[in-house]
Amino acid sequence: MGMNPFTKYKYANGEFVMNAVEYLVDNSGILETRAKDLTLRLLDKKKLEDERSKWQIINIALPLLLVILFGAVYQFIRRRKYQGKTQNLQG
């Protein structure tokens, strides 16, 4: 790792990998992460029931409509681009 056998040039890849591993395995960072306190916030059940259908529509129907719209625009542009070329080949 890090030596060209023809030119006998030694690269610093080995040092870089060792420094990267030491940085990633830093013990103080691991202890800080373990000490972190996570609080889970519960969702408001009334608001959840009221807005359920709205979010279902947004997450299901909106992406489908965007894909269909993109496909229609793409086909429209393709047909306009190649419309004149196909008529010349037939006539």
Domain-wise residue ranges, the chain: 1-38, 43-91
CA distance 15 to 19: 6
Sequential pLDDT tens for the chain (91 residues):
567 778 877 777 777 877 777 778 776 665 565 667 778 888 899 999 999 999 999 999 999 999 999 999 999 999 998 887 666 555 5
Predicted pLDDT of residue 6: 83
Strand, helix or coil for residue 8: coil
∠ Cα 80 82 85 (to 5°):
130
pTM greater than 0.75? no
DSSP string, 17-82: HHHHHHHHT-HHHHHHHHHPPP-PPPP-HHHHHHHHHHHHHHHHHHHHHHHHHHHHHHHHHHHHHH
Cα–chain-centroid distance for residue 72?
A: 25
